[in-house]
Amino acid sequence: MPAPQLLIQPAEPNSENAADQLRAQPSPDLTTLLASVPAVDPVAARARAYVQAAKAPSTQRAYRSDWRDFERWCQGRNLNTLPTAPETVGLYIADLAATHRPATISRRLTAIAKAHQAARLPSPASLDHPEVGETLKGIRRTHGTAQPGKRALLTTDLLQIIAHLDSGLLGCRDRALLLTGFSGGLRRSELAALDLEDVAWVEEGAVLTLRRSKTDQQGRGRQVAIPRGSHPATCPIAAVKAWLEAAQITTGPLFRAVDRHGRARVAGLHADSVGTIIKRAVSRAGFDAKGFAGHSLRAGFATQAARNGATVFDIMRQTGHRSVQTVARYVREAQIFHDSPAQRLGL
């Protein structure tokens, strides 16, 4: 698709209605403006970089993947993609409903809307269009909106998993990563992004500075306390220090890949690798890896803390959750038998 042109043309100096004509023209967005600026312009290059940084890389990848899927679907049916019609979008999500969750379908709609927005076209994916909104509503009523969650790793699970870790450098790294992620209630992306410079050692344990996270895309940062454990074998502080010493890490990424020769690499882990590490560790301990993912550590922290009497707000302070409803779900699941009226039935 050719680059969009500027919609505002310079007004004639002597035109009495020049200001009115300018106000009547639609204002171009930043992407449109950048398309008219030479690629070698350093200011334009910085602006493009800032536009690119407006969304997390994972979000951008998801949108690109979703848009490619919609393009393939339309091409197979000889339908237009840009612009496309609400009727086409309604048919597309109806076709997706048999194999995709409503949450995924909603994200596909967002990708279609973003593509049209970038092209300065009205969105055909708006829920205001009955062909889209009513179809999605029917999908949700038919298939439900509950998303299958991954199993939470509880303390007893973690003890069993740690006991089955490899004894080499890889096992040393995995022990430190699992205990830190669990005790901190951290996301996989937060674990992968940690640098040694983000760790402040204190008498009580360590304070981690999270520079950026899923709910902090602006980079305000927050601090997370990692207390010392009661037992040397499961103390996250002892585990991290043992890993740093064994891997000879003095600066840079805290958690790194270990090559086939048993040496720590220079680059840090990718966030996706955290889920792979967890799956491998739970498999060694005899669990079914399909039930676990990178979120299992964070979910496990919230669930175990709730079982042990922590309040919703205590958990939120550690995990950085912004939604009380999200954390309350962990509390309800953890305390489902606590003071249950079903225990008063005399059965």
Do 238 and 188 sit in the same domain of this protein? Answer: yes
Do 172 and 92 sit in the same domain of this protein? Answer: no
166: in domain: yes
Is 330 marked active-site? Answer: yes
- DSSP characters for 163-176? HTS-SSHHHHHHHH
- C-alpha span between 340 and 179 (Å, rounded): 32
Do 194 and 90 sit in the same domain of this protein? Answer: no
294: in domain: no
Is pTM beyond 0.85? Reply is: no
Place of tokens 């305000």: 220
| Contact status, residue 182 vs residue 153, Cβ threshold 8 Å | yes
Do 196 and 257 sit in the same domain of this protein? Answer: yes
Is 307 marked active-site? Answer: no
Do 59 and 174 sit in the same domain of this protein? Answer: no
Task: Using the 3D structure, point to which of 114, 143, 172 is the last residue of a domain.
Answer: 143
Nearest C-alpha neighbor of 188 from the set 165, 166, 210, 158: 210
Q: Which distant-in-sequence residues (6+ apart) come within 8 Å of 22 by Cβ?
A: 8, 11
Do 193 and 121 sit in the same domain of this protein? Answer: no
Do 88 and 197 sit in the same domain of this protein? Answer: no
Task: Using the 3D structure, point to which of 143, 166, 183 is the last residue of a domain.
Answer: 143
Is 322 marked active-site? Answer: no
| Number of C-beta neighbours around residue 256 at 10 A | 20
116: in domain: yes
79: in domain: yes
- C-alpha span between 110 and 97 (Å, rounded): 16
According to DSSP, the residues that pair with 216 across neighbouring strands are 213
- 181: which 2 tokens? 């992620």
| Contact status, residue 163 vs residue 126, Cβ threshold 8 Å | no
Catalytic residue among 214, 220, 332, 338: 214
DSSP annotation of 222: E
Is 220 marked active-site? Answer: no
Do 204 and 112 sit in the same domain of this protein? Answer: no
| pLDDT in the model for residue 161 | 94
- CATH code of the domain in which 184 resides: 1.10.443.10
Nearest C-alpha neighbor of 156 from the set 287, 275, 277: 287
Is 295 marked active-site? Answer: yes
| pLDDT in the model for residue 56 | 66
- CATH code of the domain in which 84 resides: 1.10.150.130
Task: Using the 3D structure, point to which of 249, 268, 286 is the last residue of a domain.
Answer: 286
Is 332 marked active-site? Answer: no
88: in domain: yes
List, for residues 17-67, the tens digit of each pLDDT value: 433 433 444 444 545 544 555 555 677 666 666 666 656 677 788 888 899
76: in domain: yes
Catalytic residue among 114, 187, 256, 279: 187
| pLDDT in the model for residue 149 | 61
- 215: which 2 tokens? 């709910």
225: in domain: yes
Do 279 and 162 sit in the same domain of this protein? Answer: yes
Do 250 and 172 sit in the same domain of this protein? Answer: yes
| pLDDT in the model for residue 51 | 60
Q: Which distant-in-sequence residues (6+ apart) come within 8 Å of 21 by Cβ?
A: 11, 15
Nearest C-alpha neighbor of 200 from the set 178, 226, 232, 236: 226
Q: How many domains does one find in the chain? A: 2
Do 161 and 206 sit in the same domain of this protein? Answer: yes
Q: How far is CA 173 from CA 182, 239, 243, 329, in A?
A: 14, 8, 6, 31
133: in domain: yes
List, for residues 83-133, the tens digit of each pLDDT value: 999 999 999 999 998 888 888 899 999 999 998 988 889 999 999 999 999
Nearest C-alpha neighbor of 208 from the set 231, 187, 230: 187
In the predicted model, residues of the chain with pLDDT beneath 70 are 1-41, 44-56, 145-150, 213-219, 332-346
Domain that holds residue 59: 55-143
| pLDDT in the model for residue 141 | 87
| pLDDT in the model for residue 144 | 72
Do 138 and 173 sit in the same domain of this protein? Answer: no
